[in-house]
Amino acid sequence: MIMNVELEKNKIIRINGPAAIKVINGSIKILGATYNEGERLIINKYRSYALKCIDDKAVIEVSLGDGGAIEEPSEGEEVVDIWEENIGKIVEECRSRKCRIIVVGPVESGKSSLTAFIANMSLEKGLKPIVIDADVGQADIGPPGFISAAIVENKILWLRDLKANYLKIVGSITPAHVMHKIISNTMFLVNCVKDSGDIIIIDTDGWVQGYQAIEYKIDLVRAINPTHVIVLADKQLANALENAFKDNTSINVVHLPSPKVVRKRDRDDRRYLRSKSYRRYLEDGKIRKIKLREIGLIGSALFIGEKVDLNTLREILKPSNITPLYASALHNTLFIVVDKQQVNIRSIVEAVSQKLGFSEVYVFTKGFEKGLLVGLIGEDPNSEVPGIVTSIDFNKEEISIQTKYEGKIRAIIFSKIKLSDEWEEVGKPSRYMI
Ligand SMILES: Nc1ncnc2c1ncn2[C@@H]1O[C@H](COP(=O)(O)OP(=O)(O)O)[C@@H](O)[C@H]1O
Ligand SMILES: [Mg+2]
């Protein structure tokens, strides 16, 4: 459906994607960016935005796709004017000194939109913005499980329009399990990009409910030492942060409202968007074979330990009809890779631990390695390129990894994320994934 829409000065409408828009005449603003006569833009089907006329009059041509809509917001539903006023002031402050802005708030409160909004406004004021996407669950720039940094050169309508300049692997899509990795990697990236732009905007995950989540956000803020913390929607979160930093005059906590009506994403949408992100970075990658002994290995219990000779294990396992392929020992734990599944695994484990004197025995079954997401350290020491394990030949001690990266691989960092052939997460993360 294609239609022309005429807008008066300061008129705000809400557009739900998918929608393609062409400015026929006048100028409009979306997400802090101005679009003039002749310019076109696309609103993705997973997004909705407020569009504002900033001329005396504007005419736009809107083509709506399936599920797309134009809506007239009721009083108080749209908050772009409040965003514009507050962000305008903050960006103005950032002209005279480098700024670091961290955006926090619940899921779907508009964190990523506000991040893009700040980037767009900065560009319009002639500043160079850099976005760090520290939301490992709904990662928009890098693949899920990674933290990314991107220098913003052109106006954007979604963080997914950006390409990562740097990637760091965290290895989980649930922040609660990896808070220290999120904090350290975000800090790393802030340091990495701090001289490449004027304003760093850090988008975060939506886990803000409860004491543990808030404490983690406070720790993250302390580590980043930002000039501004923007808290969306959640008053209690805003109070907690204001309180934590009330003595610190160099950290400015600003509480802003969220748009009241938004295009919501359900669990399936979120899963689909994650799989799309994995695909973007991994699909069409070539298979690379790498000798395990020749590179650094991080995040693997199996490879951190000392290799164990298989002869004794072979004898012990013979009656149960399974063959050990690889084994290693770390303090009092023995890790074994066996060739096939065994229903009677508990008695095998007991036999092994008794005979060899280990207090814990952990068994992996061949095939367990397929689909593990990894980060590869290559030529750029500041970035970890995504890859996916296709198999490990334990005899040759050689790992096969699918990746788009073609340079020298110096180390592999294993994650706790395993992907299916459809690029969706499978299984539950366990203590030892490898
Ligand atoms: N001003 C707005 N009006 C209506 N919907 C909006 C507006 N700004 C953002 N949205 C929509 O709100 C939803 C949640 O925004 P998002 O930035 O992804 O939140 P978060 O990053 O906090 O999860 C998205 O569908 C987005 O398109
Ligand atoms: Mg987000």
- Give 199-243 pLDDT, tens digit per residue: 999 999 999 999 999 999 999 999 999 999 999 999 999 999 999
Q: Of all atoms in ligand 1, which is nearest to the CA of residue 117? A: 8
109 in contact with ligand 1, CB cutoff 6 A: yes
> What's the topology of domain 2-71?
Jelly Rolls (2.60.120)
Q: Residue 351's pLDDT is what? A: 86
The residue-averaged pLDDT of 105-114 equals 97
CATH 2.60.120.10 boundaries in the chain: 2-71
| 262 touches ligand 1 (CB under 6 Å) | yes
Spatial neighbors of 266 by CB under 8 A, at least 6 apart, are: none
**For a pLDDT cut of 90, what percent of the chain falls above it?**
92
Expressed in angstroms and rounded, the spacing between residue 258 Cα and the centre of ligand 1 is 8
Mean residue pLDDT of the chain comes to: 96
Average pLDDT on 20-45 reads 97
**Ligand 1 pocket, mutate which of 136, 262, 267 (most atoms under 8 A from CB):** 262
CA of 49 to the centre of ligand 1 (A): 7
- Reported confidence tier of residue 263, pLDDT bands at 50, 70, 90: confident
Position 410 scores a pLDDT of 98
Instruction: Find the ligand nearest to 258 CA.
Output: 1
Q: Calculate how far, in angstroms, residue 337's C-alpha sits from the geometric centre of ligand 1.
A: 46
**Of the ligands numbered here, which is closest to the C-alpha atom of 266?**
1
Mutate to test the pocket of ligand 1, among 43, 47, 265 (most ligand atoms within 8 A of CB): 47
Residue 349 has a pLDDT of: 87
> Does the predicted model carry a pTM greater than 0.85?
yes
The per-residue pLDDT for 344 is 80
Instruction: Give the pLDDT score at 121.
Output: 98
Question: What is the C-alpha to C-alpha distance for residues 76 and 47, in angstroms, rounded to an integer?
Answer: 20
Structure tokens at 142: 């890098």
Q: Whose CA is nearest to atom 12 of ligand 1?
A: 262
| Ligand 1 contact via 12 beta carbon (within 6 Å) | no
pLDDT at 264: 85
- Is the distance from the beta carbon of residue 107 to the nearest atom of ligand 1 less than 6 Å? yes
Closest atom, ligand 1, to C-alpha of 264: 25
Q: Torsions phi, psi of 156, nearest 5?
A: -130, 155
Does ligand 1 come within 6 angstroms of the Cβ of 256? no
Q: What percent of the chain has pLDDT over 70?
A: 100
245 close to 217: Cβ distance less than 8 angstroms: no
Which residues have C-beta within 8 Å of that of residue 230, sequence separation ≥ 6?
101, 102, 103, 104, 114, 254, 255, 256
**Closest listed ligand to the CA of 208:** 1
CB of 5 closer than 6 angstroms to any ligand 1 atom: no
Q: What is the pLDDT of residues 276-293, one digit of tens each?
A: 999 999 999 999 999 999
Architecture of the domain made up of 80-279: 3-Layer(aba) Sandwich (3.40)
Say if residue 1's pLDDT is above 90: no
How many whole angstroms separate alpha carbon 405 and alpha carbon 407? Answer: 6
pLDDT value at 343 more than 90: no
Ligand 2 ion: nearby residues, β-carbon < 5 Å: 111-112, 138
Whole-number Å distance, alpha carbon 107 to ligand 2 midpoint, is 7
Give the model's confidence band at 327: pLDDT under 50 very low, under 70 low, under 90 confident, else very high. very high
For CATH 3.40.50.300, the residue range(s) in the chain are: 80-279
Please report the beta strands in 320-410, taking only residues with DSSP state E, as ranges in sequence order: 324-330, 333-338, 360-365, 372-377, 384-393, 398-403
The reply to whether ligand 1 has any atom less than 6 angstroms from the CB of 206 is: yes
The model's confidence at residue 347, banded by pLDDT at 50, 70 and 90, is confident
Tokens 């969706």 sit at which residue? 424
Ligand 1 touching residue 14 (CB < 6 A): yes
Kindly give the distance from the C-alpha atom of residue 261 to the centroid of ligand 1, in angstroms, as a whole number. Answer: 9
Alpha-helical (H) ranges within 62-210 are 80-93, 111-124, 179-193
Mutate to test the pocket of ligand 1, among 48, 115, 266 (most ligand atoms within 8 A of CB): 48
Q: How far apart are CA 29 and CA 35, in angstroms?
A: 6
CA distances (Å), origin 419, targets 268, 274, 368: 16, 11, 11
Cα(84) to ligand 1 centroid in Å equals 15
